[in-house]
Amino acid sequence: MVLELNDQSKQKYPDSTRFSSGNHQSQSLPDAVVTNRLQADAESPTTSRITTSRDPYNIGHGLKSDAEIAELRSRKRGKHLASYHRRQNDLIASLLKPMEEHTEDARNEENIFRLPIKIAVRASLIANIVLAVLQVYAAVSSASLSILTTGIDSISDVSSNFVLYFLHRKANRMDVNKWPVGGARLETIGNVIYGFLMGSVNFVVIVESLRELIKHGGGSLNKFHIPSIVAVGAALGVKFLLFLYCYSLRSKSSQVAVLWEDHRNDLFINSFGLLMSAGGGRLAWYLDPIGAIIIALGVIVAWSRTIYSQFELLAGKSAPHDFLQLIIYKAMTFSNEIEKIDTVRAYHSGPDYFVEVDVVMDANTPLWKAHDISQQLQDKIEVLPNVGRAFVHVDHETTHLPEHRKHI
């Protein structure tokens, strides 16, 4: 399965995305640190948008200007077409950006968001402790099952926050001799445990609410307890502020993403719990246990989806299509010693990616040169954002069976 870098290029990727190399000879890019590899770029035709020293296949010609996109958008049903070309512009810009810039941008972003992420985690922890006390008071004083559900959820939030905070610190201090791949997957495991804990607690709430519906003897209304309503309302307001703050940071940290989901769920839990508890005290007694059941079911469904997504990361789900295209393009333009790209794979190992690239060089390439080029490529891939490990394998032909496959 080969991508040949010649005029009759062919691409076959059973395990990776496809990228068209066009009708151009392979050229070198400044990503490769091998001498005499930039001369061919000077001979390439220039474009009005991208310098060809970084665009040997002239993919910059596919860029659309803002005016062109606006014109497309003005057409009948042109909204989707304009959106497509904006995504294509982003992809082309990403492909043509040197790997060093990808790495530097990721470092700068990490430095910028380090303090906001720390504030989000610690503010959530402190707020959850205070709100847990308030909501436990509200649940005990009102004897409302709906408010009890919100109180149990708050207690679970506190314990889970401590677990996630501990695992985050532990992941950054793992002994590489004992854990060679690092501790990134610890956070993912912690998220799964968190989700199971939330589901188990809410299952207990469902059982208790069903018992209340079965055993309740009359049609009398529940006690309407104003202080408990105020306490839950205060919790709702604080959770809304934390939800807004974590919303902009959820893509920067898996830990903040879980906290954002927790705040989002708590908005539903607290608002609906407040409504059903008040309904049980003013309209009909059975609204309170029914509200508790609905809240608990909603939490279980939401966290089941989160657990599934975290399991996908642990099970080795493939990296996004755009990331695979980036790796393919960077590998095939890294050095003119690389004749073909056999296979490219990128898959999750926790929140980070493991990347496998099989390249083909001439059979007469000296061992030292094959090693140096593949090592340089591997090093540059490994410092890309979200890459945990990279493996570059060099071969001299493509007629063999795919590597790392078991055949009976």
**Residue 140 and residue 8 share a domain:** no
CATH of the domain at 162: 1.20.1510.10
Other CB atoms within 10 A of residue 4 CB:
18
378: in domain: yes
pLDDT score of 392 more than 90: yes
334: in domain: yes
What pLDDT, on the 0 to 100 scale, is given for residue 122?
A: 82
Bridge partners, residue 345, by sequence: 356
pLDDT score of 13 more than 70: no
Other CB atoms within 10 A of residue 132 CB:
21
Q: Is 58 left (phi over 0), alpha (psi -120 to 50) or beta?
A: left
142: in domain: yes
| Top mean-pLDDT range of 53-62, 148-157, 299-308, 328-337 | 328-337
85: in domain: no
pLDDT, mean of residues 74-80: 82
Confidence of residue 406 (pLDDT cuts 50, 70, 90): low
Up-side HSE of residue 156: CA atoms within 13 Å toward CB?
A: 25
CA angle centred on 395, ends 407 and 381, rounded to 5°? 100
Last residue of a domain, one of 300, 315, 330: 315
**Residue 134 and residue 283 share a domain:** yes
38: in domain: yes
Q: Rg of the chain's alpha carbons, rounded to an integer? A: 28
For 332, residues 6+ apart whose C-beta sits below 8 A from its C-beta are: 3, 5, 19, 21, 26, 338, 341
Last residue of a domain, one of 254, 287, 315: 315
What pLDDT, on the 0 to 100 scale, is given for residue 79?
A: 85
| Structure confidence by residue, pLDDT tens digits, 211-226 | 878 877 666 666 666 7
**Residue 280 and residue 132 share a domain:** yes
**Residue 261 and residue 243 share a domain:** yes
**Residue 311 and residue 242 share a domain:** yes
What pLDDT, on the 0 to 100 scale, is given for residue 20?
A: 35
**Residue 274 and residue 376 share a domain:** no
Distance, in Å, from the CA atom of 376 to the CA atom of 390, rounded to the nearest integer, reads 11
193: in domain: yes
Last residue of a domain, one of 283, 315, 347: 315
**Residue 214 and residue 140 share a domain:** yes
65: in domain: no
Phi first, then psi, for residue 212 (nearest 5°) are: -65, -40
Give the least confident one: 15-29, 182-196, 345-359. Answer: 15-29
Confidence of residue 21 (pLDDT cuts 50, 70, 90): very low
Confidence of residue 404 (pLDDT cuts 50, 70, 90): low
CA angle centred on 162, ends 157 and 168, rounded to 5°? 120
pLDDT higher for 396 or 284?
A: 396
pLDDT score of 236 more than 90: no
Structural domains counted in the chain: 2
Q: What separation in angstroms does the CA of 384 have from each of 106, 227, 390?
A: 8, 53, 10
**Residue 285 and residue 175 share a domain:** yes
Distance, in Å, from the CA atom of 331 to the CA atom of 35, rounded to the nearest integer, reads 17
**Residue 307 and residue 351 share a domain:** no
Range of the domain at 324: 3-30+32-45+320-395
**Residue 267 and residue 134 share a domain:** yes
| Structure confidence by residue, pLDDT tens digits, 32-69 | 333 333 333 333 333 333 334 567 878 888 888 888 88
CATH of the domain at 15: 3.30.70.1350
What pLDDT, on the 0 to 100 scale, is given for residue 205?
A: 80
**Residue 332 and residue 278 share a domain:** no
What pLDDT, on the 0 to 100 scale, is given for residue 302?
A: 79
What pLDDT, on the 0 to 100 scale, is given for residue 117?
A: 82
**Residue 226 and residue 254 share a domain:** yes
What pLDDT, on the 0 to 100 scale, is given for residue 235?
A: 79
